[in-house]
Amino acid sequence: MEKLLNILNKIKPNIDFSKEQNLIEGGILTSFDIIRLVAELNSEFDIEITPLYILPENFKSAETILKLIEKLQEED
């Protein structure tokens, strides 16, 4: 979770990602932020987030993003 929050803060410095629950619908993360985030997550966690997983429900909050990461790490 630490690593994830660091990455998120690098992309959008002034947001408290541990609290925010509406990152996509609330307009906090734009499509451009998503590409950056995905690139970083892919390299940091050695996973492959494909466009399939870019859904509002996956990127709603830091918790849901973490769930996505864990799911992809388990998968093959």
Q: Decide: is 35 part of the binding site for other proteins (CB under 8 A).
A: yes
Residue 5 binding other proteins, by CB under 8 A: no
Query: What b/e string do you get for 30-69 counting C-beta neighbours within 10 Å, with b at 16 or more?
Result: eeebbeebbebbeeebebebeeeebeeebbbbbebbeebb
Residue of the chain from 2, 13, 14, 52 that contacts other proteins (CB under 8 A): 52
Can you tell me which of 18, 39, 44, 63 binds other proteins, judged by CB under 8 A? 39
Give yes or no for residue 49 binding other proteins (CB under 8 A): yes
25 exposed, middle or buried (CB, 10 Å; 0-12, 13-18, 19+)?
exposed
1 touches other proteins by CB under 8 A:
no
Residues of the shown chain interacting with other proteins in the complex, contacts defined by CB under 8 A: 10, 31-32, 34-36, 38-39, 42, 49-52, 54, 76
